[in-house]
Amino acid sequence: MQFCDCGALLVPERQPNGKIQMRCPACGKTISSDSNSKAFEISQKIHHSEMEKTVIIEEPHGLETMPTAATLCDKCNNNEAFYWQLQTRSADEASTTFYRCKRCGHTWRDYG
């Protein structure tokens, strides 16, 4: 972020010739990219898909010492699985519980 000498946040603006300039909404001052001012860049917010947010756990160490829960596996209908919890969302939301079937190794999650 860049600020104007007057203290306001500079806003990017595209000129008719295609170049980008920074303009102060408070005082109207403009700074072009070819001036001697600090270089600036325009960025874009990236939105991740649910698949990109998925936590993949290869093989937890000490699986045999992990707690177990009575829950049904969708793959083999076994009713016992190891479980662990991770904070995968913001701190004010509940942890995500992951389960791994003791029989077939299928892993799934429960958002609780």
> Could you say which of 50, 80, 92, 110 is catalytic?
92
C-alpha dist (Å) from residue 52 to 16, 43, 55, 66, 106: 38, 20, 8, 27, 20
Query: How many C-beta neighbours within 10 Å does residue 1 have?
Result: 5
Catalytic residue check, 92: yes
Place of tokens 């990017």: 12
Closest listed residue to residue 72, CA positions, set 101, 36, 49: 101
Catalytic residue check, 80: no
User: E strands along 25-111, which residues?
Assistant: 30-32, 68-69, 81-86, 96-101, 107-110
Catalytic residues, by residue number, are 92-93
